């Protein structure tokens, strides 16, 4: 942390907050550096908002909600149409900022933006997504219908690994449903969400409908406990997600938390070898393994265990470099602390007896010697008791488990507490159908390495990877961000004849 005076003295740019439609300078005394993970260059300093600033953001959202909730659906949809056009127009510049502060390759950064953009595009369909139901003449002259109405001020807490995609999962769906929103992005890479906020205002989002604060645990807890916030959406680690869910639930809020994972990919001996190898290596090491949907466990069944040398050879072809460099396949992990954590887990794997097939430690990238780089790392001979199996490593590390049968693979996965995603690689329809039927994981890929559904569906992680019963986008997000009101009506004209007093609960 540094003081505000130091910030002004060295002229390091400061990250602003968005309050009531204006980008303002925080009055806090607590600041944190935003660091380029490839160079250690300080890009900016981000404030840890004061209690007064957090309360001001919620107050702004509360005031704006009084009018925004009555804004016509078509008006909200047109704002989303404009936002998606602006995001698409500025995708390259957003990706460059994202790569600088998070470390992703430019191609992966554009993918980060694009997957969020898909949700904005889906939000443009709010006219049909928010439709109610109607049943005529459910009893004599009685009709019943439902309305899906906004719920109020909502809060979002987004993670460092997807600084564009996750905010775009959150605030567009919330505000297009008629709510207002307070976002707290990760303090490690806040520049990208602020660019998205600028575009949101350009698209026509009114003052107070979207507000952004910055900070750490204190800001998170404030969102979870503020009496005027009615719903909280979270994506991040299991430890923080569990805390958010418990705290926000105790304060009477709707909560959805997408959390940690340990995703398995089952490889059958009959799988298309080249396609499977490409998918496994790409989904494990892309984004330097910093994805909640990364394929961190490869389960080789039967003769597929002979593929280990091929997996290692494929991983060796990947180029580690700064994200902005042409041809880079994976960049650095987000921080020095993250790198040290991953290296510590690699040491644990060696001590526990796993075979280190490919060692990515100690890699040096010319011109970026200070970067937080770790090369592709592969362990074989891993067992379910090992720490590298039980822990979400969140780095470019593949652990390989060998089993004899598909049944053993299914049992292994179902015994793991996480349920974010899994996949099977096979050319057997029978094996694929057995797998999708018996596996207890919310998102399943068949010859697809990262089975994140398109926005017309919803993200459906399960078990230890999710708290709350609704996903962050698609139809489930509309359910989360609205409340259902049911109306039962009967109308009489002057010629109607009374049927007398009815003391039962039935409609006649």
- Structure confidence by residue, pLDDT tens digits, 320-364: 999 999 999 999 999 999 999 999 999 999 999 999 999 999 999
Region 382-406: mean pLDDT is 97
What's the rounded Cα separation, in Å, for the pair 81 and 193? 19
What's the rounded Cα separation, in Å, for the pair 240 and 229? 19
Q: At what angle do helices 91-102 and 73-89 cross, to 10 degrees?
A: 70
Q: Taking the mean position of all CA atoms in its chain, how far away is CA 446?
A: 22
**Is the pLDDT reported for residue 1 higher than 60?**
no
Task: Give the pLDDT confidence score for residue 8 in this predicted structure.
Answer: 41
What's the rounded Cα separation, in Å, for the pair 194 and 198? 6
Q: Model confidence at 500, in pLDDT bands (50, 70, 90)?
A: confident
Task: Give the pLDDT confidence score for residue 502 in this predicted structure.
Answer: 75
**Is the pLDDT reported for residue 496 higher than 80?**
no
- Structure confidence by residue, pLDDT tens digits, 23-66: 999 999 999 999 999 999 999 999 999 999 999 999 999 999 99
Tokens representing 342 are 């991953």
Region 202-213: mean pLDDT is 98
**Is the pLDDT reported for residue 495 higher than 80?**
no
- Structure confidence by residue, pLDDT tens digits, 264-320: 999 999 999 999 999 999 999 999 999 999 999 999 999 999 999 999 999 999 999
Region 150-178: mean pLDDT is 98
Task: Give the pLDDT confidence score for residue 3 in this predicted structure.
Answer: 37
**Is the pLDDT reported for residue 160 higher than 70?**
yes
Residues 400 and 298 sit within 8 Å (Cβ to Cβ) = yes
Tokens representing 222 are 């404030």
Count CA within 13 A, CB hemisphere, residue 342.
29
- Structure confidence by residue, pLDDT tens digits, 66-114: 999 999 999 999 999 999 999 999 999 999 999 999 999 999 999 999 9
> What values do phi and psi take at 143, rounded to 5?
-115, 150
Q: Model confidence at 508, in pLDDT bands (50, 70, 90)?
A: low
DSSP label of 496:
-
Task: Give the pLDDT confidence score for residue 494 in this predicted structure.
Answer: 75
Count CA within 13 A, CB hemisphere, residue 147.
7
The H or E element containing residue 429 is helix 429-438
Q: Secondary structure of 113-166 in the HEC alphabet?
A: HHHHHHHHHHHCCHHHHCCCCEEEEEECCEEEEEEEEECCEEEEECCCCCCCHH
Helices and strands in the chain: count of H runs, count of E runs: 17, 22
Q: What percent of the chain has pLDDT over 90?
A: 92
Region 420-435: mean pLDDT is 97
Distances (CA, A) of 10 to 44, 166, 298, 327: 11, 32, 48, 35
Q: Three-class SS of residue 289?
A: helix
The H or E element containing residue 183 is strand 180-184
Residues 277 and 298 sit within 8 Å (Cβ to Cβ) = no
Which alpha helices (H) appear in 352-428, and where do they start and end? 387-390, 406-415
Cβ burial of 282 (10 Å; 0-12, 13-18, 19+) is: middle
Give the predicted TM-score (pTM) of the model.
0.94
**Is the pLDDT reported for residue 2 higher than 50?**
no
**Is the pLDDT reported for residue 387 higher than 90?**
yes
- Structure confidence by residue, pLDDT tens digits, 124-135: 999 999 999 999
How wide is the angle at C-alpha 186 spanned by C-alphas 167 and 324, nearest 5°?
85
Output the average pLDDT for the chain. Answer: 95
Residues with catalytic roles: 292
Q: Model confidence at 10, in pLDDT bands (50, 70, 90)?
A: low
**Is the pLDDT reported for residue 493 higher than 90?**
no
At a CB cut-off of 8 Å and minimum separation 6, what does 205 contact?
A: 79, 83, 175
- Structure confidence by residue, pLDDT tens digits, 395-405: 999 999 999 99
Tokens representing 162 are 């997807």
**Is the pLDDT reported for residue 180 higher than 70?**
yes
Tell me whether strands 355-358 and 377-380 are parallel, antiparallel or unpaired.
antiparallel
**Is the pLDDT reported for residue 231 higher than 80?**
yes
**Is the pLDDT reported for residue 11 higher than 90?**
no
> What values do phi and psi take at 469, rounded to 5?
-105, 5
Residues 272 and 427 sit within 8 Å (Cβ to Cβ) = yes
**Is the pLDDT reported for residue 258 higher than 70?**
yes
Tell me whether strands 355-358 and 263-267 are parallel, antiparallel or unpaired.
unpaired
């Amino acid at each position: 942390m540094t003081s505000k005076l130091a910030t002004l003295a060295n002229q390091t740019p400061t990250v602003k907050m968005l309050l009531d439609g204006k980008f303002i300078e925080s009055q806090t005394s607590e600041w944190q550096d935003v660091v380029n993970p490839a160079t250690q260059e300080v890009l900016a300093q981000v404030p840890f908002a004061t209690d007064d600033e957090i309360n001001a953001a919620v107050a702004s959202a509360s005031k704006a909600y009084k009018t925004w909730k009555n804004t016509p659906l078509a008006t909200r949809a047109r704002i989303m149409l404009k936002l998606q056009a602006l995001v698409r127009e500025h995708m390259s510049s957003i990706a460059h900022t994202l790569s600088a502060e998070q470390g992703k390759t430019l191609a992966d950064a554009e993918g980060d933006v694009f997957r969020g953009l898909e949700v904005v595009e889906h939000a443009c369909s709010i006219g049909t997504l928010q439709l109610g139901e109607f049943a005529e003449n459910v009893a004599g002259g009685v009709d019943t219908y439902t309305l899906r109405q906004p719920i109020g001020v909502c809060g979002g807490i987004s993670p460092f690994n997807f600084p564009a995609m996750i905010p775009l999962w959150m605030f567009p769906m919330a505000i297009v449903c008629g709510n207002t929103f307070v976002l707290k992005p990760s303090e490690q890479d806040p520049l990208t969400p602020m660019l998205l906020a600028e575009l949101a205002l350009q698209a026509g989002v009114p003052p107070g409908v979207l507000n952004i604060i910055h900070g750490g645990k204190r800001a998170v807890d404030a969102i979870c406990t503020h009496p005027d916030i009615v719903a909280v959406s979270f994506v991040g680690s299991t430890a923080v997600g569990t805390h958010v869910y418990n705290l926000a639930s105790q304060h009477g809020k709707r909560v959805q938390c997408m959390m940690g994972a340990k995703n398995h990919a089952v490889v059958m001996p009959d799988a298309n070898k080249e396609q499977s190898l490409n998918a496994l290596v790409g989904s494990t090491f892309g984004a330097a393994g910093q994805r909640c949907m990364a394929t961190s466990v490869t389960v080789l069944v039967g003769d597929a265990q002979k593929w280990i040398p091929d997996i290692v050879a494929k991983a060796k072809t990947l180029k580690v470099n700064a994200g902005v460099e042409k041809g880079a396949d994976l960049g650095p992990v987000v921080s020095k602390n993250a790198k040290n954590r991953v290296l510590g887990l690699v040491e644990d794997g060696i001590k526990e007896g796993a075979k280190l097939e490919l060692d990515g430690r100690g890699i040096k990238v010319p011109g970026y010697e200070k970067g937080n780089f770790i090369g592709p790392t592969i362990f074989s001979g891993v067992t379910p008791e090992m720490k590298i199996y039980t822990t979400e490593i969140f780095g470019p590390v593949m652990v390989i488990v060998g089993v004899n049968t598909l049944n053993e693979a299914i049992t292994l996965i179902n015994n793991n507490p996480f349920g974010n995603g899994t996949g099977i690689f096979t050319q057997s329809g029978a094996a694929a159908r057995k797998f999708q039927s018996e596996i207890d994981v919310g998102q399943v890929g068949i010859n697809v390495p990262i089975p994140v559904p398109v926005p017309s569906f919803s993200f459906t992680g399960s078990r230890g990877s999710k708290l709350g019963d609704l996903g962050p986008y698609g139809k489930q997000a509309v359910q989360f961000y609205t409340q259902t009101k049911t109306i039962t009506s009967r109308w009489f004209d002057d010629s109607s004849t009374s049927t007398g007093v009815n003391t039962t609960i039935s409609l006649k």
